[in-house]
Structure 1
């Protein structure tokens, strides 16, 4: 789609995570309850409906090759990005954190009051991709599970 100024309309459509063990990652994201789509792709790539952008899982080395980037050394430290699971209440944050940890996530940071008036915690998936579970002022979660930002 192109706007009036003949510029493409920006949009984020897919987030692809490089994973070491596609089978284990599929099992993890299935256990979290994300709805897998296009299952005909088998274990080559997995696509999940997240209620917004699609989450894709792809083998780490193949994703690096596709992007023409080296796959080694793999970072062990913070990678400069997080994924987020926005919630409607503090109680939901606690429930999501407990749920994810019960499904094999690793605790990164326990849920806590934030300095901006929110409440958040962090867990990591099997490859260390960090997820923030958060309720934040100005960001509402609607009945459609989508986030709605204050104007």
Structure 2
């Protein structure tokens, strides 16, 4: 960038998950209802529209190599990040958790009232990437499937 150019606009566009079994992970995310895009990539990489951002699935070892990180040992423990599925109601949280488990997710934490006045539970995808399913005070989920935060 030249000295006169403006600062780039920050944006979060894609989260790429390293997965052990592309076929099983693609089937799981399709079962959850995420729309797969760019199917021409086959099982080399898979992209899912999430309503504003994209989830990409990529073989674990290849993703590690691309980031120049070792792919072993593969952690079975918390990796320092979670994904979230924000909901509009307590009932929706329960419905989403039950639905995800029916699609093959692992239950990680039952839904419960939180200390901040919300309601939350967790499931793990086929590679145990943790997803929080949550309704939180002050966070509105719009008809556009995006969350809207107050200023």
Moved over 4 A (4+): none
Structure 2, unpaired ranges of 5+? none
Post-superposition CA distance 1:1-55 (Å, at most 9, x none): xxx9721111100000000000000000000000000000000000000002100
Post-superposition CA distance 1:91-123 (Å, at most 9, x none): 000000000000100000000000000000000
Q: Which residue of 2 aligns with 1:85?
A: 85
TM-score (norm 2): 0.96
Post-superposition CA distance 1:68-103 (Å, at most 9, x none): 111001111100000000000000000000000001
Residue 69 (structure 1) aligned with residue 57 (structure 2): no
Structure 1, unpaired ranges of 5+? none
Deviation at 1:137, TM superposition (A): 0.8
State the number of aligned residues. Answer: 148
Q: Which residues in structure 2 correspond to 1:52-67 (within 5 Å)? A: 52-67=52-67
Q: CA RMSD in A?
A: 1.1
Inter-partner Cα distance in structure 2 for 1:6 and 1:83: 31
Inter-partner Cα distance in structure 2 for 1:91 and 1:132: 15
Inter-partner Cα distance in structure 2 for 1:139 and 1:11: 19
Q: Which residue of 1 aligns with 2:28?
A: 28
Inter-partner Cα distance in structure 2 for 1:108 and 1:150: 30
